[in-house]
Amino acid sequence: MSAKPDLKIVLCSPRGFCAGVVRAIDTVERALDKYGAPVYVRHEIVHNKYVVDGLKKKGAIFVEELAEIPENTSAPVVFSAHGVPKSVPADAQSRNLFSLDATCPLVTKVHREAAIHFKRGREIFLIGHSHHPEVVGTLGQLPTGAVTLIETAEDAKTISPKDPNNLAFVTQTTLSIDDTAEIVALLKERFPNINGPHKEDICYATTNRQLAVKKVAPVVDALIVVGAPNSSNSQRLREVAEREGCKIAVLAQRATDIDWTKFGNITSLGITAGASAPEVIVEEIMDAFAERYTLHVETVSAAEENEFFPLPRQVRPEAAAE
C-alpha cells in the first residue's frame, strides 16, 4: 500500500460559532428542556442544516410564518438570530403566543440605531443584501419607505436622497468588510454630513473570521469554508479567500459535499467555518482528508474571542427558581 501524500492543514482562528449563534441555539434547547416539545421556531434559528436538523430531532418545529403555528397552543415560539420585523412580535401578541426573542444583540443594536435616526427625522440607508432575513427584519423596524436599501457600490454612486444633509446609514452585520468600506467611503464622499454608527455595525465575529481568512488564503493551495449557501457570513468568507488570491475556495456544508477532483494536487489547505457552522463539521471534513492524506495541522489566529450574550430572561437558569 502506497504512503498517503502529505497535506498541511491551516486552521483559521477564530472560526465557527459566534456568541449570537450560541445564544440562539441555547435559547431553543433551554426552551425544550423547560417547556417540553414542541417549540416552534420562526425561520431557521441559524443558517445551518446540521444545527437545524439536530434541533428538529429534539422537538423543535421550524416554520416560515406564524400562521403555520396552530391556534391556542401554549408552546413557545422562538424568533431567529437574524431578527424579525416589528409586525411579527405584534402578530404573536395578538394571537397570545408565548414568544422568545433569540435575535442577536448586535442585530438589535442596528435596529435601535435605525429607530433613533428615524426619530431624528433622517433619511436612512441600509447597506445589505435584499431578502436576507436580517435585512428584512431591519427594514421592518420602521414604516415602509423610511429605509432605502443599498446593495452595491453602484447603488451608492447613484442614489438620490431627498435631503443630502439629513442622512444616516446602518449596515447588515454579516457583510464583507472591504465591500462595505468601499460603499461607506462613497457615501461619505457624496454626503459629507451623513451620520454613521458610533461603532461599526459589521459584527466582531464576521470581522474576525474575515481577517483570519485574509491571513491564510494567500499561503494555501485551497480553502474550504464550512457553511451553508444561504449563510451570508459564510459566503463572504469564500469571497474574501478568492479576493486574496486563493485559486480554490469552496463552501461545504458537510464532508459529503467535497468535490475531490478539485483537491487532487494540493499540498496545503485552509479551513474555516462560518459563524453558524459547528466545529464537529470541521472535524468531519478533516477526517475525510485524513483518509486520503497524512495531515500536518497548524492554526493561524487573527483575534481572541470571549464575547458572551445572556439568554432571554424566560430561559435563563435563574428563571427556573422564580
- Mean pLDDT in the chain? 95
What would the pLDDT profile of 43-101 be if each residue is shown by its tens digit?
999 999 999 999 999 999 999 999 999 998 999 999 999 999 999 999 999 999 999 99
Between 4 and 322, name the one with better pLDDT: 4
The pLDDT-based confidence of 322 (bands split at 50, 70, 90) is very low
Using DSSP bridges, classify how beta strands 76-79 and 222-226 pair: parallel, antiparallel or unpaired. unpaired
For the chain, the three-class secondary structure string (H helix, E strand, C coil) is: CCCCCEEEEEEEECCCCCHHHHHHHHHHHHHHHHHCCCEEEECCCCCCHHHHHHHHHHCEEEECCHHHCCCCCCCEEEECCCCCCCHHHHHHHHCCCEEEECCCHHHHHHHHHHHHHHHCCCEEEEECCCCCHHHHHHHCCCCCCCEEEECCHHHHHHCCCCCCCCEEEEECCCCCHHHHHHHHHHHHHHCCCCECCCCCCCCHHHHHHHHHHHHHHHHCCEEEEECCCCCHHHHHHHHHHHHCCCCEEEEECCHHHCCHHHHCCCCEEEEEECCCCCHHHHHHHHHHHHCCCEEEEEEEECCCCCCCCCCCHHHCHHHHHC
Distances in Å between the Cα of 309 and the Cα atoms of 20, 33, 232, 284 are 7, 20, 21, 28
The pLDDT-based confidence of 3 (bands split at 50, 70, 90) is confident
What would the pLDDT profile of 201-225 be if each residue is shown by its tens digit?
889 999 999 999 999 999 999 999 9
Which residues belong to the annotated binding site for dimethylallyl diphosphate? 47, 82, 132, 231-233, 276
- Neighbour tally for 200: CB within 10 Å: 16
Which residues belong to the annotated binding site? 18, 47, 82, 104, 132, 173, 203, 231-233, 276
Task: Please say whether the beta carbons of 292 and 2 come within 8 A.
Answer: no
Pick the catalytic residue from 29, 68, 134, 154: 134
User: Considering the entire predicted model, what is its pTM?
Assistant: 0.93
Q: Would residue 134 show up in a list of annotated catalytic residues for this protein?
A: yes
Which residues belong to the annotated binding site for [4Fe-4S] cluster? 18, 104, 203
The pLDDT-based confidence of 274 (bands split at 50, 70, 90) is very high
Task: Please say whether the beta carbons of 33 and 319 come within 8 A.
Answer: no
Q: Give residue 108's Cα distance to chain centre.
A: 14
Task: Please say whether the beta carbons of 108 and 22 come within 8 A.
Answer: no
Domains of the chain in sequence order = 6-17+204-301 (3.40.1010.20), 19-104 (3.40.50.11270), 106-190 (3.40.1010.20)
What is the distance between the alpha carbons of residues 175 and 210, in angstroms, rounded to a whole number?
A: 10
Which residue bears the cell 435605525?
114
For residue 321, pLDDT beyond 50: no
Which residues belong to the annotated binding site for isopentenyl diphosphate? 47, 82, 132, 231-233, 276
For residue 309, pLDDT beyond 50: yes
CA angle 314, 318, 322 (to 5 degrees): 75
Across the range 269-280, mean pLDDT stands at 97
